[in-house]
Copies of this chain bind each other. A is one copy, B any other.
Amino acid sequence: MSEIRKHYFLEDYCIIAAGRGKRPSDYSSFPEVQNATSCVFCAGKEDMTPPAMAVYKHGKILQDSKNELIRDWQIRCIPNLYPALSPEGAGIPYQSGYGFHEVIIETPQHEKRLTNFTDDEMTLLMTAYRDRVLHYWKQPQIQYVSLFKNWGKQAGASLEHTHSQLIALPLIPPLIKRESDLIHEKSKCPYCDIVHMESSNERSIYENKHFIAFAPYCSKVPFEIWFLPKEHVSHLGAMSEDMLHSLGVAMSYVLSRLETVLGSPSYNYMFFQLLNDDSYHLNIRLQPVTSKMAGFEKNTDIFINTMPPEKAAEYMNEGMSEQETH
């Protein structure tokens, strides 16, 4: 039997259709391996990309110059070679596709993936996320900064070397605008309610000092997982070092569990946040890519999900003791 579920507070529905009784192995996939020797994101290939806007190196944030490309880095932020938007035509932002498109190379090592990162490396990545988002949010006419990661070919990653992306836009996406408008109408933050509701129930997956992770009631896709700060913060820039550390550790835990349960899934994660709207509650949505978006979804924007989030959480928690997950 299926179930039509409404989003926690938005006019947004999904269909949970567990009929086929699927198991995690039905969603497993293993990525094709690319050739590291041709990768332009690797250490030593700095001259093969545009100069870096920001380079994280042993506690410092540096920038490439024309004469000197910084070597021996930890995280390297470069303009996307094929930008969706570019800073040229600021005068007519829509017609000229004004904006910024950056690639955040998360490590100089080709084979390394987020699940191999130490807690310190994850914290540094969250710090770089915060810095880069704030940097672009301050640019003229920028209204929204989209921060996301595509991991694996099925999730839209064209290069294998682990990286995230950031696109700064001269508009607030209507999707986000609708959500923030609805939140303004409420007397209390609905995400704060969600933190309370999903902290210790059958959809809970992880909790630490500052963050919870859970399979949302209205999961659009199998093994969708949300990360929510327990305190109300609107964007990465409002987060303390301690919170960034908590977030890094939470993501690291969840991604590792996902790898154990699903093999090596392609996935996207997206940061939802607003800089100038204190009523918004930052949230991060992780969606493994295990199925195709087909005609029904494109017609209705209602997703058919064959893995109930309660069941997904059960698989994610299998064999983990209370102590390990908390």
Contacts and interface: CB of A to CB of B under 8 A. Distances in A.
A97 interface: yes
Interface size range of chain A in the complex: 35 or more
Given A97-B17, A299-B271, A294 B155 contact: yes
A175 B4 contact: no
Interface hub of A5, A82, A177, A298 (most chain B Cβ within 10 A): A298
Contact of A300 (B1, B144, B292, B293): B144
Contacts of A173: 13, 299-302
Interface hub of A83, A269, A296 (most chain B Cβ within 10 A): A296
Given A17-B97, A155-B294, A173-B302, 16 more contacts: A2-B84, A4-B98, A4-B170, A4-B171, A6-B94, A13-B171, A15-B97, A19-B82, A84-B304, A146-B296, A146-B299, A150-B294, A154-B292, A173-B299, A173-B301, A268-B298
Interface of A: 1-6, 11-13, 15-17, 19-20, 82-86, 88-89, 93-99, 144, 146-150, 153-157, 165, 167, 169-171, 173-177, 268-272, 285, 287, 289, 291-296, 298-302, 304
